A and B are shown apart, each in its own frame.
Chain A
Amino acid sequence: MPKKKVIEMKNVCKEYTMGKVKVKALCGVTLDVYEGDFIVIIGPSGSGKSTMLHLMGALDKPSSGKVFINGKDLQTLDDWGLAMLRRKFIGFVFQSFHLIPTLNALENVMLPLEPTKIDDIEKIKRAKELLKIVGVEHRMFHKPTELSGGESQRVAIARALINDPKIVLADEPTGNLDSKTTMQIMDTLQKMNKEKNKTFIIVTHDLSLTKYGNRILYIKDGLIDKMEER
């Protein structure tokens, strides 16, 4: 059975205007991402890898070229359409976790569901289950300030998964963590990839993470320099 395409990028360019200067962050990128992929994107800072992640996460639209997420052309969607696409198909994990300090772990995980009509009991059930899977169930009533970096990132991963997205995008998810915690977090991500057949795209400049991916993308100067498949 052929694998399902979840993201399709066709000759994508992205330009920014920084003051009066136009900066090409990305140019001529073509890429297909399939269901169940674990892609690691490697590149130096300023190479355009974060821009690529933003495009794949429907946070931004390309300047030229086409990006399809789950078959939907980003160019045809308005602000609301993009938000709905993110809500249904995409989860984000960030380098510095971005947890809300006033809410405990459980409430942080439930946050993406807040504007939805899903009832509270269901929200809590889902959040607890995810916290259990990522291994921080025992910390669920703790505030982010009481959590370690690894624990915080696990909570953030659970938050990214609460909508049951097809795709999880992670921008330097282990950038603030020590090497032992990094391994634990990556193992968790890999487990979610294998068990739940979720697509993961990880942006990093840590070469040691390449061993987790089935496809490794090397980005340089806004282009895919090299691609390895395993």
Chain B
Amino acid sequence: MIKLAFFNLFRRKIRTFLAVLGIVIGITALITLTAVIDGIYNEMTSVFGSFQGVMVMQKGVADQPFSRLEESLGQKLTNVQGVRTVVSEIWAAPKSIDNQPLRFTSMSSFVFIYGIDPAQYKKLRGSGWIGELERGEMLGSNDKSYVLLGKNIADDRKKFVGSNIRVNEKQFKVKGILKTESELYGNIIVMDIDVARELAGISKDKVNTFYVELEDPKEDKKVAQLINFLYGSQVEAMATSDFSETVSNMLGNFNIVAFAIAAISAFVAAMGIINTILMSVMERYKEIGTLKASGWTSWSIMKLILLESAFMGLLGGLIGIFIGIAIAHYIDTYFGIPTLVTTNSVVQAALFAFFVGLFAGAYPAYRAAKLDPVEAMRGA
């Protein structure tokens, strides 16, 4: 019966194709949207999820490079209850690399400098923003002419441990390559904080931000509150777990949009399928009558028609999934927006399409099953 139902779809290829188109568009949109959402979510969790701490920056500024804080504040923060150690940070955008000016064309091309004090960094229990190294070694206290590179920038520019790299007017040697494959941190250039200050034009006693490591990482929200209470007039402290929560809340809204689109397109697609299957049932009155005459029960007829429409849904779903994956891949490659197609979303989309088809087949199947075999054979 499965084979029969399947081949029945191809009796009117163009009609089937048109009926399936609605599902194709809906599933394509669903797969693409969820791929973008999952991609961004995955990106964010890979950045923020690996460690928990508190970020401290100047109050009221939009982004880390615009923040200016006294370095002496770091010592004060160390004394706040629950704080284990504090790292001073410099964030800056380089003007050129290897004498080529940098242009911001996409998220993945966004290169930035991260300046740290290796001695401070060594005290961290976790690995901070830098994460683990894939190759080479961590910067030492006297490595002022060395850098660590994110994996993407190293791959893009064919840099290895020991390679030379010129950032603005300064020549460096690559000491290590970072493991992280995240789009955001894949293009990081890690260097000594004094050198970074120089490149960014920041005076000696200032830093952009502090990264605060905690005695108990679960206390990050509490400590952030405490810092805001103590130094709230100058600084803003954010728990990294708050970051990921904000991100997932935002993405949650996108998810609702994605499902609304899916629901609307499912409704439209279902109408198309109902219409098509109903027409094909009417065209096949004699055939259905013949099946009934040869001992097919109403239920068997119903199953056949339901299978046909469910297949129609599934067919559209599979085409939609295929196109959706292609578009997601395109977005990732050409726009640098991270996308991630999960098995989960593919299975969900396929099931969704299948059930939309099945649901749409209910009425036509009922009509076919209720046909009087005598009437059906007259072809009325």
Contacts and interface: CB of A to CB of B under 8 A. Distances in A.
B101 to A, nearest CB: 64
A80 B303 CA distance: 15
A57 interface: yes
A101 B292 contact: no
A98 to B, nearest CB: 4
Nearest to B373: A59
Contact of A114 (B7, B8, B299, B300): B300
Given A59-B373, A59-B374, A102-B11, A114 B293 contact: no
Interface in A87-107: 87-88, 90-92, 94, 96, 98, 100-103
A100 B298 contact: no
Interface residues of B, number: 25
Contacts of A84: 295, 297
A88 B7 contact: no
Interface string A65-89: 0000000000000011001101110
Nearest to B370: A79
Nearest to A169: B293
Contact of B295 (A79, A83, A103): A83
Contact of B294 (A54, A80, A102, A159): A159
B290 A102 contact: no
B294 A163 contact: yes
Contact of A102 (B10, B286, B291, B372): B10
Given A102-B10, A115-B300, A160 B294 contact: yes
Interface in B253-295: 286-287, 289-295
Contacts of A91: 294
B295 A86 contact: yes
B377 interface: yes
B1 interface: yes
B298 A79 contact: yes
Contacts of B11: 101-102
Interface size band for A: 20 to 34
Nearest to B291: A111
Contacts of B295: 83-84, 86-88, 90, 112, 115, 163
Interface-centre pick from A60, A90, A102 (highest chain B CB count, 10 A): A102
Contact of B1 (A57, A59, A60, A114): A114
Contact of A94 (B7, B291, B377): B377
Nearest to A54: B374
A118 to B, nearest CB: 12
B374 A87 contact: no
Contact of B290 (A87, A90, A92): A92
B304 to A, nearest CB: 9
B335 interface: no
Nearest to B294: A112
Nearest to B11: A102
B294 A59 contact: no
Contacts of B296: 83, 87, 112, 114-115
Interface string A17-35: 0000000000000000000
B4 A114 contact: yes
A96 B290 CA distance: 11
Nearest to A159: B294
Contacts of A59: 292-293, 373-374, 377
Contacts of B377: 59, 94
B292 A98 contact: no
Nearest to A115: B300
A69 B300 CA distance: 23
Contacts of A163: 294-295
A84 B69 CA distance: 87
B7 A115 contact: no
Interface in B64-83: none
Given A54-B374, A80-B297, A100 B292 contact: no
A86 B374 contact: no
A92 B8 contact: no
A83 B295 CA distance: 5
B280 to A, nearest CB: 12
Contacts of B298: 79-80, 83
Contacts of A87: 294-296
A115 B373 contact: no
Contacts of A160: 294
Interface string B7-20: 11011000000000
B294 A86 contact: yes
A111 B8 contact: no
Given A101-B11, A102-B11, A103-B4, A92 B294 contact: yes
B286 A98 contact: yes
A57 B297 CA distance: 15
15 contacts: A60-B372, A79-B298, A86-B292, A86-B295, A90-B293, A98-B290, A100-B287, A101-B11, A102-B7, A102-B10, A111-B4, A112-B296, A114-B296, A115-B300, A159-B294
Given A60-B372, A79-B297, 12 more contacts: A88-B295, A91-B294, A96-B286, A101-B11, A103-B4, A111-B291, A111-B294, A115-B295, A115-B296, A115-B300, A160-B294, A163-B294
**Among all A-B residue pairs, the 9 with the closest Cβ atoms:** A87-B295, A112-B294, A115-B300, A98-B290, A83-B297, A102-B7, A92-B293, A86-B295, A59-B373
